[in-house]
Amino acid sequence: MSRRGGGGRRPDSCSDQPAQAPAPSFQRGGGEAAGPPGRGHQGQRGGTGGGSHSGSCAAPSSSHAASTSTAQAPSSPSVSASAPSSSSVSTLVDETEQKLTLAAPAAATLPPSSSQAMRLPVRPGLGTVGRKCVVRANHFMVSITPEVTSKKINRQIISQLINLYRLTNLGERIPAYDGMKSIYTAGPLPFESKEFIITLPDSDPRPSSSTRPRRERQFRVVIRLASKPDLYTLQQFLLRRHFEAPYEVIQVLDVVLRAAPSEKHTVVGRSFFSTDLGPMGQLGDGIEYWRGYFQSLRPTQMGLSLNIDVSACSFYEPILVTEFVQKYCRDLSHPLSDEVRLQVEEALKGIKVVLTHVEYNRSYKITGISSQPMSQLMFIDDNGTRMSVIQYFLEKYNIALQFTSLPAVLAGSEARPIYLPMELSRIVAGQRYTKRFNERQVAALLRATCQRPWEREENIRMMARANAYNEDTLVNREFGIQVADDLTSVDARILPAPMLKYRKSGREASVNPGSGQWNMINKKMFNGGRVEVWTCVNFSTDLDPDVPFQFCQGLVDVCNSKGMVFNPRPVIPISSSNPNQIEKALVDVHNRTTQQGKQLQLLIIILPDDKGSYGRIKRVCETELGIVSQCCQPKQASKLSMQYFENVALKINVKVGGRNTVLVDAVQKRIPLVTDRPTIIFGADVTHPQRGEDSSPSIAAVVASMDWPEVTKYRGLVSAQARHEEIIQDLYKSIQDPQRGLVHGGMIRELLIAFKRSTNRKPESIIFYRDGVSEGQFSQVLLHEMNAIRLACASLEEGYAPPVTFVVVQKRHHTRLFPAEDNKRDLTDRSGNILPGTVVDTQICHPTEFDFYLNSHAGIQGTSRPTHYHVLYDENRFSADGLQVLTNNLCYT
């Protein structure tokens, strides 16, 4: 089956290698490309209350909002805070006044040209193309009728303060607390600054006795008036009379709505999890999942809406450490091997445990496990006597340890370690598991969370009702907030699928994929690429020795049958290599090929069985060796499935310069603003290391269309950059060379040159789809990456500044769309999801900015996730219909 995606492509979908020299027709080249030929390159935007106040575990700090500073009495940690303030961001220009400055290229990226607040493009109107329909969105209407470092410890402090002083010092107000530095009230407190002393019982007491009372800790809490968020500004913004979103006011309301759940449930980001919110389940190896929900207050065209979605999260099972270890090595009667001991230590590090043989509830954080078994561990007691750990527990607690061949759990410092027997240490409940999943755990979590649309919708509805927002005293009576009881009905449209053109020699020369799914039966690629020099390396140890050969033979046969020219003989024999020596194996394949005087056009890689090697393989192949690679999962490769062969063949064809299909409308030049003038379309994304990949870099990938008007053939470049760096560093770069002077390079520049060489036209328009950017990163990413695009263009020709449209593509959000009527053929696909092509740009979208939700794909299992497109810059002046139809059509190429 052909697969469809958003505006950009992953690094694994990149096409062949970059051009090797500048195109001669750009009048001002400005030097050569900086990279070697044939290689790749290396917050919430911006509250009801009469006042906002703050408090959290931190050193005292100045505040511009009423702050609560809580500090423990002498010899105790201090707590203080200031209300959150929106950070000022440097941006290029005020969008309503100026355009991005086109500066001359410099040796380094130019600094921001303006510190004014960024204003994103205003919505040009609502779309009209497509068949009208109604869908339900998991957004709940919110209305307001205003009448006027351990977060857990912080909440206990503030909760105690409210209980003691609400009816007196707090003037009968019920504050909402954000768990950090701010509290909010619906009206003013009867003071501007006041100090309170709060006493809490010690959370880590020593063993109590009749003669020794339980220890208590005192905290000093100072509440100061910090600011008075004005609800009027929010009302004006929602009425579209004011263009700057008052995020401080929205944050206040969000804190109010999150106050009660934060006290009852385990908080993970914007989500809440609890064993009371649904059935739990086992993921294996001592890990379980809890049910929960995501919640976020958002400004929309219909006013404020509360986005609620069901979710699941992994936690450690609250079991004895011996039970946890047994899931790794099964047999606890023998000492652990060094390999298993290291695995167990990595799994246990950072977990908190409590001891089962004592009355007090003190927790210890595991720092490691001993290299010796319990039977050999010795220590010096308080009297200076050397004794064994086993002897200590027998004499002190009358406990004869059973698992003496196991190592001890280590806590405390390296200088003064504490030895804890695994059989007496119980894992504290509610600790989130943040390490890498194995394949079994991934499969188990997917099975547990996969829900059909009607199931997910009903679970969301039940979760919202269970929260009983309108019965919450703080939410409803104190702040006058009302939350709707049901999902919101939203006006939507279903865009028509584009006609696709295939090679005439196939039985089917064109197809209308109205259902969002189609296959390659009776079809041939529009332009088949050529692969003469290739080979395959297998890193999986679970596959039978013959499988890599059978897989490659089947893949080559399918590639040739679909229109490619694919040499059936690999340049060097297909090989299997040690997954622990990936880099060595890849370099060896490269060297053996070059020794024959040839350059690999394609390296097929069967990935290791363990996850986590993809980024490393891509870095070596694409950025160090200059090899185009196609990675395949061993589980899929072993199936020898025709459908999988076809999908991989389509990927390979694009990478080696072929075209799978083209849009009929593009060929006939019927796409406004794209086919009426030479247009290059970019897709960009950054792939970050998965959990457990401690040494892997982030991989930035940029693809660009290399044909016009078809905009179907793409060329890609990848670049390794600092871990978890979201801004793409290598879009444009320049260096000062002693001999050649200023040398320009970067991925944008190289792709612009390649477009000119391929089409003999220089781009007169640029459309840039940028994946993976959160709202809090909008200004930063736009500022730096638009600047890089401008500099790359200017480095090619003086005055060259084609208009740019910069669109962020967001898939990691929690908005879901459901059919208004289930099982109705003209509204749902076979999986029960909304139809492909469904677009929403009304009620649940931004009040003023240019954004929309588009479900461009057919559902297979579970609930489809629409992609959210947000326009950050638009010099091409797209209409709503123009950009929505173009984006939908591009998902089919």
What's the pLDDT tens digit per position in 695-722?
778 889 999 999 999 888 888 898 988 8
Average pLDDT over residues 273-292: 94
pLDDT at 25: 54
**Three-class DSSP category at 491:** strand
Least confident of 21-25, 144-148, 601-605, 848-852: 21-25
pLDDT at 261: 92
Average pLDDT over residues 226-240: 76
Q: What is the pLDDT of residues 326-379, one digit of tens each?
A: 987 777 878 888 888 898 999 999 999 999 998 877 899 999 999 999 999 998
Taking a C-beta distance cutoff of 8 angstroms, is the pair 226, 66 a contact? yes
pLDDT for residue 14 is more than 90: no
Average pLDDT over residues 564-571: 96
CA distance 585 to 591: 10
pLDDT for residue 253 is more than 80: yes
Tell me the C-alpha to C-alpha distance, in Å, between residue 510 and each of 460, 499, 663: 41, 7, 10
Tell me the residue ranges of DSSP E strands in 414-554.
Answer: 417-420, 425-427, 481-483, 488-494, 500-501, 510-511, 530-531, 534-538
**Three-class DSSP category at 810:** strand
pLDDT at 614: 86
Confidence band for 100, pLDDT divided at 50, 70 and 90: very low
Q: What is the pLDDT of residues 537-556, one digit of tens each?
A: 999 999 999 999 999 999 99
pLDDT for residue 308 is more than 90: yes
Backbone torsions φ then ψ of 754, nearest 5 degrees: -65, -40
Query: Average per-residue pLDDT in the chain?
Result: 82
Average pLDDT over residues 513-538: 90
Taking a C-beta distance cutoff of 8 angstroms, is the pair 595, 601 a contact? no
Taking a C-beta distance cutoff of 8 angstroms, is the pair 270, 251 a contact? no
Average pLDDT over residues 520-534: 92
Tell me the residue ranges of DSSP E strands in 477-608.
Answer: 481-483, 488-494, 500-501, 510-511, 530-531, 534-538, 565-566, 575-576, 602-606
Q: What is the pLDDT of residues 825-837, one digit of tens each?
A: 778 888 899 999 9
CA proximity to 295, closest of 48, 136, 175, 463: 463
pLDDT for residue 45 is more than 70: no
Percent of the chain clearing pLDDT 70 (strictly above): 83
CA proximity to 53, closest of 149, 150, 191: 191
Confidence band for 803, pLDDT divided at 50, 70 and 90: very high
pLDDT at 12: 38
Domains (range + CATH), the chain: 51-87+142-252 (no CATH), 321-427 (2.170.260.10), 528-655 (3.40.50.2300)
pLDDT at 27: 54
Task: For the beta carbon of residue 410, count every other beta carbon within 10 angstroms.
Answer: 22
Which of 91-100, 800-809, 858-867 has the largest mean confidence? 800-809
pLDDT at 148: 33
Q: Where are the alpha helices (DSSP H) in 505-600?
A: 547-561, 582-594
Burial of 863 (0-12, 13-18, 19+ CB in 10 A): buried
Least confident of 650-654, 672-676, 759-763: 672-676
Taking a C-beta distance cutoff of 8 angstroms, is the pair 840, 853 a contact? yes
Tell me the C-alpha to C-alpha distance, in Å, between residue 799 and each of 70, 101, 110, 748: 58, 12, 17, 17
Cross-sheet strand order for the sheet of 216-224:
68-72, 216-224, 193-201
Confidence band for 518, pLDDT divided at 50, 70 and 90: confident
pTM of the model: 0.77
Q: How many helices (H) and strands (E) does the chain have?
A: 17, 43
Confidence band for 47, pLDDT divided at 50, 70 and 90: very low
Phi-psi region of 667 (alpha: psi -120 to 50; beta: other; left: phi over 0): alpha
pLDDT at 59: 30
Taking a C-beta distance cutoff of 8 angstroms, is the pair 567, 534 a contact? yes
Confidence band for 9, pLDDT divided at 50, 70 and 90: very low
